[in-house]
Amino acid sequence: MNLIFDIALWLATAGQIGLLIVSVSVPRVLNWRTELPKLSPINGKLMWIYGGYVVFTYLAFSVLTVVLHSDLLRGDRSATALAVFIGLYWLIRLLVDPWMGSGHWPTGRLFGLAHVALNLVFAFFAATYLILAGWHLFGLS
């Protein structure tokens, strides 16, 4: 199982870095230049701040997974707690997707496929971190 978790953590790291790269296109794809001015100035600025926090979170998850890779595999307490946090973060992101509604996504087959792919990636992240944490917490390692 250690090899499976080892590979899954490297894939999760690569996936989160991939999300960072894709995040750069969000303001352009979602037309923030025209959409955000429709909000009050404070709400427009908050969107940029929230976006920055999301990007920073993805970066932190990637860096922490790399730096604490061995600790995560060993099941050190703080690393396991981090795995629970990261796993819950991605699980919650997946669970709020229906509330966001796919009807609000940009139209087109490519965006529909991207939406499905993102949810699969979020599910992979959640499963990787939560199953790893469960593996350690329930003494299966």
83-110 per-position pLDDT tens digit: 999 999 999 999 999 888 767 777 788 8
* The total number of structural domains that make up the chain: 1
Band (61; pLDDT cuts 50, 70, 90): very high
| Phi/psi-derived region of residue 40, left when phi > 0, alpha when psi is between -120 and 50, beta in every other case | beta
Band (30; pLDDT cuts 50, 70, 90): confident
Q: Are 32 and 47 in contact (CB under 8 A)?
A: yes
Q: Are 33 and 27 in contact (CB under 8 A)?
A: yes
**Which amino acid type is present at position 61?**
F
Query: Which residues form the domain of 133?
Result: 2-137
- The per-residue pLDDT of the chain, averaged, comes to 93
